[in-house]
Amino acid sequence: MFYSKLARSVSPYTAGEQLNDRNYVKLNTNENPYPPSPRAAEAMRAFDADRLKLYPDPEAKALRASIAAAEGVAAKNVFCGNGSDEVLALCFPAFFDPEGKGACFADVTYSFYPVFAEFFRIPTKIIPVKGDYSLDLEEFLQADCQGYFLANPNAPTSLGISRREIENFVKRASDKIVVLDEAYMDFYGESAVPLTEKYENVLVVKTFSKSYSLAGIRCGYAIGNEALIDALFRMKDCFNSYPVDGLCQAICAQAVADKSYHEETVQKVISERERLKGELKSMGLSVLDSKSNFLFVAFEKTGGEFIYRSLKERGVLVRYWNKPKLENYCRITVGTPAQNDALLDALRHILR
């Protein structure tokens, strides 16, 4: 009875299931199945626990310097937050006004965007995806809005947009902010980070949760010009001056510096993605051309919910949404070869 109007009205984001009633093959939350960099693990072991009595660096200067070196930008162009979700959330009050023309994003995309918009009371303009689930960038450009959120590769569809197409979009939308959510970009290799040095309206948001195997540490970052980064700092310091803890900063700085291990892990996932895609297609299933670490698979004959529940009964977790345009699909994270084989065996039994 003490709820505010906002608490009563908002529709929170629903995270993927985190079950522990049995030993599951967990392919529902797009985590990386391989361990973090050995350098990250060593940073955790070497961390001086006595430092925990002190607040961490509120500007995460050492981590920002490591990210900048890896991304080929200056540290002043990097912002760090408690996961890319927090960075994306801060973008709404930083770049959009409740009385403004709103934020524009697709109807089938990362489902946190409408939650953030509702929470910060930002109007929205929703653009339907095409019949093949690709984004209609021409429709985006026609929208009367303050700016855009584009997940590239998109979730849950897994489809990617080339840097050339993104650059053309950014140039044509020069009077609007373009927030590019690149959580899965390392599995595609078409990052728009180079565009941040050419265009003032581009902000790229990335995460350590996927390709760096650090979902449990909660760290994300943004890259853009100084004005955009300053806006994020202003929002952060109105909410929480210390969102990235000291241990997290030390671990992520080492992870992003270990380029060879990162590339090796990414290639393992890509290799398994292509193998799994081929196996699923050989079973007569339709699979979108994934550029991420997951597959968006159609189950037209059975519907997605039947497959999700049947796999769950067999100890395999995948993601399903009972929503228009998604009800016949399941999103399946690419796991290790053994995990993927377990999924395939279960699916063969179910489809028979």
Q: Which residues contact 292 (CB under 8 A, 6 or more apart)?
A: 30, 153, 155, 158, 160, 184, 187, 188
CB count, 10 Å around CB of 174? 10
Alpha-carbon span 198 to 178, nearest angstrom: 13
Give the residue numbers spanning the domain of 28. 5-35+260-351
* Residue 27 pLDDT class (50, 70, 90 cuts): very high
* Residue 17 pLDDT class (50, 70, 90 cuts): confident
Alpha-carbon span 205 to 109, nearest angstrom: 15
Last residue of a domain, one of 210, 231, 258: 258
State the pLDDT at residue 332: 98
189 and 271 together in one domain = no
* Residue 34 pLDDT class (50, 70, 90 cuts): very high
CATH code, 13: 3.90.1150.10
Per-residue HEC secondary structure of the chain comes to: CCCCHHHHHCCCCCCCCCCCCCCCEECCCCCCCCCCCHHHHHHHHHCCHHHHHCCCCCCCHHHHHHHHHHHCCCHHHEEEECHHHHHHHHHHHHHCCCCCCCEEEECCCCCHHHHHHHHCCCCEEEECCCCCCCCCHHHHHHCCCCEEEEECCCCCCCCCCCHHHHHHHHHHCCCCEEEEECCCHHHCCCCCHHHHHCCCCEEEEEECCCCCCCCCCCCEEEECCHHHHHHHHHHHCCCCCCCCCHHHHHHHHHHHHCHHHHHHHHHHHHHHHHHHHHHHHHCCCEECCCCCCEEEEECCCCCHHHHHHHHHHCCEECECCCCCCCCCEEEEECCCHHHHHHHHHHHHHHHC
User: What is the tens place of the pLDDT at every residue in 122-154?
Assistant: 999 999 999 999 999 999 999 999 999 999 999
CATH code, 49: 3.40.640.10
Mean of pLDDT over the chain: 96
Tell me the CA distances in angstroms from 162 to 50, 189, 291, one per residue in order. 46, 9, 10
Alpha-carbon span 151 to 77, nearest angstrom: 20
User: What is the tens place of the pLDDT at every residue in 306-350?
Assistant: 999 999 999 999 999 999 999 999 999 999 999 999 999 999 999
**What token pair was written down for 333?**
């994270």
248 and 280 together in one domain = no
Task: Sheet containing 286-287: give its strands across.
Answer: 286-287, 294-298, 329-333
90 and 222 together in one domain = yes
274 and 180 together in one domain = no
95 and 182 together in one domain = yes
Domain count, the chain: 2
Last residue of a domain, one of 224, 258, 292: 258
* Residue 20 pLDDT class (50, 70, 90 cuts): confident
277 and 241 together in one domain = no
Alpha-carbon span 316 to 17, nearest angstrom: 12
User: What is the tens place of the pLDDT at every residue in 205-254?
Assistant: 999 999 999 999 999 999 999 999 999 999 999 999 999 999 999 999 99
308 and 190 together in one domain = no
**What token pair was written down for 89?**
């959330």
In terms of Cβ atoms closer than 10 Å to its own Cβ (0-12, 13-18, 19+), residue 182 is: buried
Q: Does 33 score more than 90 pLDDT?
A: yes
85 and 193 together in one domain = yes
176 and 213 together in one domain = yes
Last residue of a domain, one of 258, 281, 312: 258
State the pLDDT at residue 299: 96
Alpha-carbon span 276 to 288, nearest angstrom: 12
State the pLDDT at residue 13: 87
52 and 169 together in one domain = yes
12 and 51 together in one domain = no
Q: Considering the entire predicted model, what is its pTM?
A: 0.96
Alpha-carbon span 312 to 29, nearest angstrom: 14
50 and 145 together in one domain = yes
